[in-house]
Structure 1
Amino acid sequence: MNPTVRFLLSGLLLSVLAALALLYSLDTTEQQRDDAVFASATAKSANERSPEIYRLVLAVLSARNHHERRHFIRETWGKEVRDKAGVKLEFVVGEECSVPVKLREDPQSCEQRQWKPDSGQEIHEAVSVGHESPSPVHDCQRIVQPDETLGIDFELLDDVVITHLGVYDQAQDGLHGTGQLLVEIYDSVLEKLIVSQALSSGDTELERRGHFLYKPVTNFAFPKGFLGSVVASGFSAVNAAVDVAQPRCNTAPSNASRASNDPMRLRRRSRHGMAAAAGFLPPMVESVFERTPRYLAASFLYTAHPTTAGKDVPTHDAQLYLIKEHRHQSFTRAQLLDAEQADYGDIVTVATVDTYRTLADKLMAYMKLLVDSTQFQFLLKTDDDCMLRVPAILNGIATIGGDLTRVWWGRFRRNWSVERFGKWRELDFTGKVYPPFACGSGSVLSRDAVAWIASNSQSLKPYQGEDVSLGMWLLAIGVKHWDDERWYCSADAYHTAGNRSDYLSVPNLTIDQMRDLWRKETT
């Protein structure tokens, strides 16, 4: 071979070998980088994305200190989850509330209570002419019709006790004749009668305050946030009382002269009209603006609720002791929770305070984590006081088949009344009944519905409880309700149905009751 050609080929061969070496070096570096990324990803917490695709993720909402309940679930129906491929079980807890229960505004929340100075049980008047600015009354006489009811809506800004109901007496000379005037207080949202009192000329218990005559009632406690209506009826031409108890209207702003710390305020809503029947709120409502008459027909007297008075305020030392004790207990709970997570690795802690009032926020925060970290087809949400039959639930999911979008499978409550008192009181939704929602024993959502909630979490408002909130949120996308009575809404409903063995979930159980049910299931 020509030496020149041999030299050129040798140079070319060396160039190729050098290029291959470079490519190998680059590929090795890339592989090492990929390996490092993979190692880093696998070292992250369970909240990071998993390459496995889960058919079903079971999320059990649990309190931080419910160690025994979680342990029982792991040893019973939770075992069936671990034995199934493509199924995952996670317990969802929130963060510790820093306020001791005894210092909270509401035991179900994490808001610190603000005690008010002791007013000495001062008597307040809901409606009085003194609350109105002086204004001409030339057009404020109203000709009432037989059986017509007049009144005004109000809102309580604090817990109060109502002690008297009263009517407006224009001439301030008392009641005459044989007629009666009826004063009633309604829940203006539910249109439900709460308390009433009849006044007549023969009453010896009548007390005068300016233009109003009052009569005592059995003390009735109303909570902060209550929306009510105080109305009076009996102002008619056939009632002799009409001559001395004519209702008055006024065009001044409704709260112009009220103190800023008054426990209630009048709403800009006047009521009038014929009640449909005894005990029913008059239907006609007028929005009250600066020049719109408002009818001062009825009023009530009230005191600040005793629980907000100064006499039951813990001393400074007592509050410090409660805070110190709570911090110690919180630290102990955190240590136990960390140890439990180290043993089982199935606890997800979301950045939401763990209280009943924040359950909707807690569920939403978990959904965001789940969508970002896990590939799944369905999410089952339940509580740690529920007994589930996992094989039957998986069979049900298989029945859904190809219908994988916008699915919500559970036992649905429809036309469920909104409560305004107690643990389940609704603070935001003003309707009378909720949209359909699955009861809390357990329900299954398709991934797209969960992903929609997660992606819109910044604009979705939490309502009373996570189940009600789901019903409100999912109205926007029109999910399909798979209503199944085997998701029992209460233990009583399960027992009433004859303790059927084909249940999917039974809620509100103690650990002993869950153990008995599991024993029946496995023997």
Structure 2
Amino acid sequence: VIIGLGIFLAAWNKYLSIGLFLSRSDILKKNVTLAVCVLSAQGHFEQRKSIRHSWMSDIDQIRKIGKEVTVKFVVGQKSCPIHPDNRIDPFGCNRWEPSVPENPHEVIAFNVAPQAQGTNENSFVIQLYLYVKVMSDIVLKRLGLLNQLINVGFQQNSTLQIILYDAVTDDEIAQAAFPDHRSIVDINGYGYRPVKELFLPKGFEFIVVAQGPDSLEWPSDIALEGSSVQSSHNNIIFTQIVDSAGRVLPRHRHKSYVPAASIIFSLSDVNSLQLHINRIPQVEASWERTMASTSISLNEEIQRHDDVMLLDIQDVYRNLPLKVAQCHEWFNRHTVPEYVMKTDDDCFINLPEIVRLLQELPNDVPTWWGSFRQYWTVERHGKWKEDLYSSSVYPDFACGSGSVLSSSLSSWLSSNAHMLQPFQGEDVSVGVWLAGLRLRQVHDERWRCDLSCRDGLLSLPELTPDQVVWHWNNSRFCSGPCNSC
């Protein structure tokens, strides 16, 4: 009895010593076997409904074997107030504000414009690379080179060139050579030469490169006395200063750069652009009504279901990394999860099989379980345009249909979420964030990265709401999610 009492008192003292360092909220936290972050968007009501009526309903059956699973739909609380048609790209929330130029047949991209008298001399770093996205159909007519560079080429007896490359294919689409001053039209600090007219449609992306022979000694910067560099393209094109690898240079430094090249183009359809501009107030008013209706429906959904995690962020694609980081924060603040999983609201998830397999994961080291992409090339254009990550390839990352982090990795993300730099997508962001940590990757192709349905799969992406339910019905009533019966 005395020995038993001693053991009890020792255990009680240990409990008290631990309790001294735990808040009441910590003690009351719910132990969870698997916490699931389902990335969703405000208006994805049907996607969430299909999941509630399919694989999410497996939670009750899982609880019967003593395992606790919590699923939350991760949604941004704030809407983008800009209609998608009026954004620079539909994946962010930056306004496109075009105007019809005075001369739509000859629109000049950049000017070296004079400043008021008495203005100090300005020094600009010459930048040889420029990213351009066409926002309204144009026809390319001339390519221009900064006059100071034309003079450098003439002085060094070197021919300089401007070459345009398709940002997607890297194919050359236009070029102009500047061997001397002949046949050059001087307009506001740039010398222009004509090129074969080239139609460039809305959404087309290209890179403008100024180049010369290897022997050419490029000036590192130029002084523009009493002048400044100004864009004059009426936002018909969207431009960014980039380096030789296509990486966007920090925006706060753009004012100190001067593009080595400029272009002259004509606006292909003036009436279409003018109609777009005229309709902006009407379109924005309609969008405001849509947002209000979505907000009401979302609030009603939240009242009916206790499964929406509403985050204080803007609900746009570019903020998916923030959703993932803050979901880890939320789960670690409100629960004690053994594992945290991420998936999307267009995926079928084989939840019972995932929970069963958790016990087979190594528990001696931080673990990341998923289907990993390796040596994935960083893209500098399109939906997956990466502006911030400087390498040419990403670290290993799990594809987006589903992956699981052990508690220590989730806790690390939670503790450091406020310091983590978001990159272009949530999956590559997690890969970059965890790249410096010692962890074990458990590669498992049952986490499907595409629509190829195979027996024993754990996840399947890019499905319609009806397809999610169809695969779940198959998994429950037939031989597997891929086979109907």
User: Whole-Å Cα distance in 1 between the matches of residues 302 and 240 of structure 2?
Assistant: 52
Name the amino acid aligned to 1:67: F
Name the amino acid aligned to 2:53: E
Matched, 1:94 2:94: no
Name the amino acid aligned to 1:87: V
Aligned residue in 1 for 2:263: 301
Does the 8 Å contact 1:184/1:232 carry over to 2? no
Pairwise CA distance, 1:199 = 5.8
TM-score by length of 2: 0.70
Matched, 1:364 2:357: no
Does the 8 Å contact 1:410/1:484 carry over to 2? yes
Pairwise CA distance, 1:379 = 0.6
Gap change, CA 1:475 and 1:513, over 3 Å in 2: same
Aligned residue in 2 for 1:348: 309
User: Whole-Å Cα distance in 1 between the matches of residues 225 and 317 of structure 2?
Assistant: 34
User: Whole-Å Cα distance in 2 between the matches of residues 266 and 518 of structure 1?
Assistant: 46
Deviations 1:396-437 (A, max 9, x none): 21111423x421111111121222222221222232222211
TM-score by length of 1: 0.65
Aligned residue in 1 for 2:251: none
Gap change, CA 1:421 and 1:254, over 3 Å in 2: farther
Does the 8 Å contact 1:254/1:268 carry over to 2? no
> Please, what is the CA RMSD of the aligned residues?
4.6
2:231 aligned to which of 237, 257, 261: 261
Aligned residue in 2 for 1:112: 95
Name the amino acid aligned to 1:514: V
> Quick one: higher RCO (CA 8 Å, sep 6+), 1 or 2?
2
Give runs of aligned pairs for residues 72-83 of structure 1, distance below 5 A. Answer: 72-83=50-61
Name the amino acid aligned to 1:344: H
Matched, 1:314 2:291: no
2:380 aligned to which of 420, 441, 457: 420
Pairwise CA distance, 1:377 = 0.8
Does the 8 Å contact 2:374/2:396 carry over to 1? yes
Deviations 1:80-110 (A, max 9, x none): 1232121111111111413333333322222
Structure 1, unpaired ranges of 5+: 1-36, 42-47, 136-150, 174-179, 237-245, 272-280, 282-293
1:469 aligned to which of 423, 429, 432: 429
Does the 8 Å contact 1:60/1:383 carry over to 2? yes
Aligned length: 411
Give runs of aligned pairs for residues 322-333 of structure 1, distance below 5 A. Answer: 322-333=283-294
Does the 8 Å contact 1:57/1:380 carry over to 2? yes
Pairwise CA distance, 1:472 = 1.3
SS at match of 2:58: helix
Give the fraction of aligned pairs with identical amino acids, expressed as a percent.
26
Pairwise CA distance, 1:372 = 0.8
Matched, 1:444 2:404: yes
Aligned residue in 2 for 1:68: 46
Give runs of aligned pairs for residues 24-423 of structure 1, distance below 5 A. Answer: 51-85=29-63, 86-97=68-79, 98-116=81-99, 118-121=101-104, 122-124=106-108, 153-156=128-131, 159=134, 162-165=140-143, 183-185=162-164, 192-197=170-175, 208-209=185-186, 212=191, 214-217=193-196, 218-220=198-200, 229-232=209-212, 252-253=222-223, 257-261=227-231, 299=261, 301-303=263-265, 311-315=274-278, 318-403=279-364, 405-423=365-383
Deviations 1:146-192 (A, max 9, x none): xxxxx96233487576543468776999xxxxxx986534589x994
SS at match of 1:184: strand
Gap change, CA 1:304 and 1:460, over 3 Å in 2: farther
Pairwise CA distance, 1:358 = 1.0
Does the 8 Å contact 1:418/1:426 carry over to 2? yes
User: Whole-Å Cα distance in 2 between the matches of residues 82 and 125 of structure 1?
Assistant: 61
Name the amino acid aligned to 1:505: S
User: Whole-Å Cα distance in 2 between the matches of residues 266 and 343 of structure 1?
Assistant: 46
Aligned residue in 2 for 1:502: 456
SS at match of 1:509: coil
Does the 8 Å contact 1:226/1:420 carry over to 2? no
Deviations 1:380-408 (A, max 9, x none): 100010011112211221111423x4211
User: Whole-Å Cα distance in 2 between the matches of residues 219 and 255 of structure 1?
Assistant: 36
Pairwise CA distance, 1:366 = 1.9
Gap change, CA 1:439 and 1:194, over 3 Å in 2: farther
User: Whole-Å Cα distance in 2 between the matches of residues 123 and 453 of structure 1?
Assistant: 48
Gap change, CA 1:517 and 1:393, over 3 Å in 2: same
Gap change, CA 1:372 and 1:500, over 3 Å in 2: same
User: Whole-Å Cα distance in 2 between the matches of residues 254 and 446 of structure 1?
Assistant: 57
Does the 8 Å contact 2:111/2:230 carry over to 1? no
Aligned residue in 2 for 1:16: none
SS at match of 2:71: strand
User: Whole-Å Cα distance in 1 between the matches of residues 310 and 201 of structure 2?
Assistant: 39
Gap change, CA 1:100 and 1:226, over 3 Å in 2: same
Pairwise CA distance, 1:77 = 1.1
